[in-house]
Every structure is written in C-alpha cells, then in structure tokens.
A and B are shown apart, each in its own frame.
Chain A
C-alpha cells in the first residue's frame, strides 16, 4: 500500500518547508519506509532546488527518488500556510510527500502518483482534501478518487 493512516499527519507541527520535510521524513523512518532519513531529506531538498514542488493551489508535492527508500510511499501532511516558494506565491496547506527507491522495477505506484498529480489540478478534489479533518477522512477522499 502506497499510503495508509500511519502516513498521514494532521496537523504537522513544523512551520517551515525544511521543517515539514524533516518531520514527515521522521514519520516515514519510524514506520520503516525509509532506511536513512538524512539521505532521503537531502534527495528531496535537492529536488526542491531545481524548482519548487509547490505547484499552486496551496499544494506541494515534494518527492525524492533515492536508495534510502525501502518501500515506495505517499504521505499526506496538513500544514498551515507554509512558505514553499510556490509558483503562484501563495503559501501551502497540503503536502503530499513521495518516496521512490532509485531502482524501482514495477510501475504501479508511479501510475498512482501520476493519477494523483492529475487529480490535484481539479478544484473538487482539493476542496474535499481541505474538508477532511483526520487521517480516516483523507483515506476516504483518496479512495473516492480511485487513488487507493
């Protein structure tokens, strides 16, 4: 399973981009999705440097493809108006953090991430996310949108 309730953090305590990534990575480490937190965080930040993954509409999708990832995962974190150098200049409220192993053979999870990316462009999906207040509700939204 790409995402489960353990991988949903509502709310995230940290208030900065780097802090949010660290905090979410800590959770990923604790449930065994990554083997090396520092290496994973470095990969994600390196990706952020190329250009911000805050794609507008208050959503960011930081992602890292590195050997530190033991099992592909998707995390959801609810944050409060974090500055993410977004393309539209707006702060971020939703963070979907993605981890993929460097040598990933199958493509099923990539298909799901591709689908998630497409869903994010839909107003309806974003408002459903905003209305969800706990992990179970987020899971329900993802299920409803065929992402689980």
Chain B
C-alpha cells in the first residue's frame, strides 16, 4: 500500500510536524509506504509530485488550513483536522483506504488538461525548467501591462502624450510599470528557479541592469541564469562561521551576487548581448513578404506539434520575446492564433463529423471549443492522445495555415495571452479572425477525412 498525506495548521509551527510524524509512524508500523507533505511555517516541504499521487492508493489530508486539492482528483481521499491525526493516525489510514474517490469540481476535459500541464511541469528539467519558471511569472506582468497599453491606444496612438489624461495614466500603468517590471521579474524568477530565494534579488537586479543596457529579453535571460549560478557558487564557496550564517541571505549573497552580475554586464557581456538583441529585433520587425509567411508557417507547426509541450513553449517564449518592444508584434499574433486552432478545429470536427467521434469525444468537443477560444492549446491533447497519427498532422496543418496567414495579413498583438478575450488588442483584427477561421476549417476537414467511422 502507498499512502500519501498532507499536514498543515494555521501557525504551522508544531502540529503540522507532529501530525506528519504520527502518520509516518502509523504507516510504517503497518508496513505501508508513506510520504507526507508538510505545509508549515518553513514552507512546503517534501512536496508530493504528480508521480507520487499517480502511484498512491489513498490520500490523507490532516489540515486546518486550505491546501491545493485539485491534484488529488480521482484518488481515495479522507480530509480531517490536524488533531485527528494526532489522536488516532492508525484509524485515519484505515479510513483513507476505505474513503470515497475524491472528485475535483469542473468538467473532465478541463481536469485532464490541468493534470497534463502539471505532469509536464514536474517533468521539465534543467535550463528549460528555469526559463519556463521565469516566463510563467513574467506573463501576468506582460498581460496586465499589454492590456493597459492597448486600452491607452484606444484613445488614439499618441493620446498618452497628453499629460494628465486617462490615456496617459493607462500608458504609465502599462508601459511605465507593467512592462518595466517584466524583464526584472523574468530574470529574477529564472534565478529563483536555479538558486531558490536568495537568487531572486540578484536576478531582478541583474535584469534591471540588462534593461539599462538595452539588452532586453535576451539580456534578462542571460542575467537570470548568471544570477542563479553565481548565487549557487557563493552558497557553495563562501563559508561563514555558524554565528554569522544569518547574514548570508540578507547581506553576502545579495551584495556580492548583484555586484558580480551587474559589473559583468557593464564591463563585459552587456554590450554584445544588447547588440544581438537589437539585431534580432530589427530582423524580426523588418521581416516581410515570403520570409514572414514562412516564419508564421513554422510557428504554426511548432505550436500544434506537441500542444503545450517543449516545442510549443519554445515558439511561445519566442513570441513573448518579440513583445518586449512594447508595441504590437506580428509574431505574437501568429503564435496565439496558431495555438488557438488545434482545440478549435477539433471542436468543429466533432460538430460536423458526428459519426467519427465517440459520445465522450463529442462532449469533450464543447470544452475544447472554450479552451481553444482561451488559447489553451492543451485542449487538443485528449483527442490527439486517442488517435495521434490522424489528429496531430491535421492540427499541425491547420495551425500552420493560421500562422502563415496571420503573418501575411500583418496582424499584430500586444499581449501574450488571452485568446478571444484579447482580440481588442489585435491590430487588423478582421483579417486575423479570417486567418484563425481558415486554420480551424483546415484542421476540422482534415480530421474528418482522416479519421475512421466509429463502429456502432
């Protein structure tokens, strides 16, 4: 038997750990495998992974505070207060094994998608994981900033130059605050992923230096990785006597880390990185005609290929990178449009070709339409998983059509996420919609032609 448990209490000083110990002891006596996640004042320790949960026979929650529950959907689960675990951990384990299956609210497809996303997050490793950690923390800043800027532009493109107007304030919120923070946040959370909390300050300061040197998105990535590894080196090689260890995270690491990263930027790497960044931006913004269409096509293929996996995320990260300039990006528009097509196309296919899908798939089609409209490419995964050889080529073709058309029409987007809900931030939105509809139709028709009839 494999048992998992989560313990947490409001102060998180004692009972969290006593309950953990009690459950661990009781499980060991029974000869069961046990892992306990403690959510105390020290933070989350011994966190349960998707693999742990998948392999578990039952879950025990001994918590007096709320803890993330969705991850336990589909498992036997018993939820009690911390004190119950102290009173009788033995009985608690028996109860858990007899407990009903926990079902997270929300419909199945959305759950599946969330599960797949969580699993991928656990699996991602190394540099990619650090980069994605940075990107995921950065996105809210870009979305908030980008939408504020887009709202400002609705008063006219130069309305913000008029001081004291709403348009100017919106621009200050979006450009002056949101976009100004996003590069330091990206660098900071890359470093955080590498070196944990001490990395954050050094990374954010490094990112700010990169901004000052016009090294942009690329500079932030370099600064973030450098900060993370520099902090790790400081932790490893600077050894202080025990009584002084307290000053490591508040004094030694931030000061020396920031100086090392900052000065390396000013004296050594800042200039070349800035040059590369500028060249890249010029190349991308200057690209037009056949090249642009080809790029859109490749972006489309990448977005659909693994539906939210590393290839998709690489294209996506590339798209967000082109946003840093602060104006609309044709590449970002192509990325979002192409990313919306796979679930949308499959949803349309379930609607048109009713005899090619199971009842469950037809139901899932409705959810996929919503996911697609919200630019959650992962919505296509359940269909692709069931029939990859027919579905994946169909969605790649549709997404490629949308990517290429979006670039050809020169639609631009100034925010990195939101799907249908950020269409007001799209320039040339009519043709953009045409591009998305065309791709959706291609995917739907190809899927319908390739898939076999369901035997009744």
Q: How far, in whole Å, are A114 and B38 apart by their CA atoms in the complex?
A: 10
| Residues of chain B within 8 A of A117, CB atoms compared | 13-18, 21
Number of B interface residues in the complex (CB < 8 A): 25
| Residues of chain B within 8 A of A100, CB atoms compared | 13, 41
- Selecting from A19-27, A50-58, A134-142, the interface stretch reads A50-58
**Interface 1/0 per residue, B245-260 and A, CB below 8 Å:** 0100110000000000
Q: How far, in whole Å, are A98 and B43 apart by their CA atoms in the complex?
A: 18
Q: Which of A96-119 contact B (CB under 8 A)?
A: 98, 100, 104-108, 110-111, 113-118
Q: Are A118 and B17 closer than 8 Å at their CB atoms? A: yes
Q: Are B11 and A63 closer than 8 Å at their CB atoms? A: yes
Q: Are A53 and B21 closer than 8 Å at their CB atoms? A: no
Q: How far, in whole Å, are A122 and B64 apart by their CA atoms in the complex?
A: 23
Most A Cβ at <10 Å: residue of B18, B21, B25, B86: B18
Main secondary structure of the interface of A (DSSP, over half): mixed
Taking the closest CB of chain B, its distance from the CB of A86, in whole angstroms, is: 10
Question: Which residue from chain A places its CB closest to the CB of B38 in the assembled complex?
Answer: A114
Taking the closest CB of chain B, its distance from the CB of A24, in whole angstroms, is: 16
Q: Counting CB contacts under 8 A, is B22 at the interface? A: yes
| Residues of chain A within 8 A of B249, CB atoms compared | 105-106
Q: How far, in whole Å, are A2 and B17 apart by their CA atoms in the complex?
A: 18
Taking the closest CB of chain B, its distance from the CB of A133, in whole angstroms, is: 25
Most B Cβ at <10 Å: residue of A53, A108, A121: A121
Q: How far, in whole Å, are A31 and B83 apart by their CA atoms in the complex?
A: 33
Q: Are A110 and B40 closer than 8 Å at their CB atoms? A: yes
Question: Which residue from chain A places its CB closest to the CB of B22 in the assembled complex?
Answer: A121
Q: Are B250 and A105 closer than 8 Å at their CB atoms? A: yes
The answer to whether A55 and B15 touch (CB under 8 A), given A87-B87, A121-B22, A121-B25, is yes
Q: Which of B1-39 contact A (CB under 8 A)?
A: 10-11, 13-18, 20-22, 25, 38
Q: Counting CB contacts under 8 A, is A47 at the interface? A: yes
| Residues of chain A within 8 A of B22, CB atoms compared | 121
Q: Are B11 and A114 closer than 8 Å at their CB atoms? A: no
Q: Are B16 and A114 closer than 8 Å at their CB atoms? A: yes
The answer to whether A107 and B42 touch (CB under 8 A), given A50-B10, A53-B14, is yes
Question: Which residue from chain B places its CB closest to the CB of A114 in the assembled complex?
Answer: B17
Q: Are B41 and A98 closer than 8 Å at their CB atoms? A: no
| Residues of chain A within 8 A of B250, CB atoms compared | 105
Q: How far, in whole Å, are A104 and B40 apart by their CA atoms in the complex?
A: 14
| Residues of chain B within 8 A of A116, CB atoms compared | 14
Q: Counting CB contacts under 8 A, is A120 at the interface? A: yes
| Residues of chain B within 8 A of A115, CB atoms compared | 17
Q: Are A107 and B43 closer than 8 Å at their CB atoms? A: yes
Question: Which residue from chain A places its CB closest to the CB of B14 in the assembled complex?
Answer: A117
Q: Are A61 and B14 closer than 8 Å at their CB atoms? A: yes
Q: Counting CB contacts under 8 A, is A17 at the interface? A: no
Taking the closest CB of chain B, its distance from the CB of A40, in whole angstroms, is: 14
Q: How far, in whole Å, are A103 and B270 apart by their CA atoms in the complex?
A: 38
Q: How far, in whole Å, are A118 and B22 apart by their CA atoms in the complex?
A: 8
Q: Are B18 and A55 closer than 8 Å at their CB atoms? A: yes
Q: Are B14 and A63 closer than 8 Å at their CB atoms? A: yes
Interface residue from B13, B17, B86, B87 paired with A65 (Cβ < 8 Å): B13
Q: How far, in whole Å, are A142 and B181 apart by their CA atoms in the complex?
A: 48
| Residues of chain A within 8 A of B42, CB atoms compared | 107, 110-111, 114
Question: Which residue from chain A places its CB closest to the CB of B20 in the assembled complex?
Answer: A118
| Residues of chain A within 8 A of B64, CB atoms compared | 50
Question: Which residue from chain A places its CB closest to the CB of B12 in the assembled complex?
Answer: A110
Taking the closest CB of chain B, its distance from the CB of A102, in whole angstroms, is: 11
Q: Are B86 and A55 closer than 8 Å at their CB atoms? A: yes
23 CB-based A-B contacts, threshold 8 Å: A50-B10, A50-B64, A51-B81, A55-B15, A56-B87, A63-B11, A63-B14, A98-B14, A105-B249, A105-B250, A106-B246, A107-B42, A110-B42, A111-B42, A113-B13, A113-B14, A114-B13, A114-B16, A114-B38, A117-B15, A118-B21, A120-B21, A121-B18
15 more contacts with CB within 8 A, not counting A65-B11, A118-B20, are A51-B81, A55-B14, A61-B14, A63-B11, A65-B13, A87-B86, A105-B249, A107-B41, A110-B42, A114-B13, A117-B13, A117-B14, A117-B21, A118-B21, A120-B21
CB-CB nearest 4 A-B residue pairs: A117-B17, A121-B21, A118-B21, A114-B17
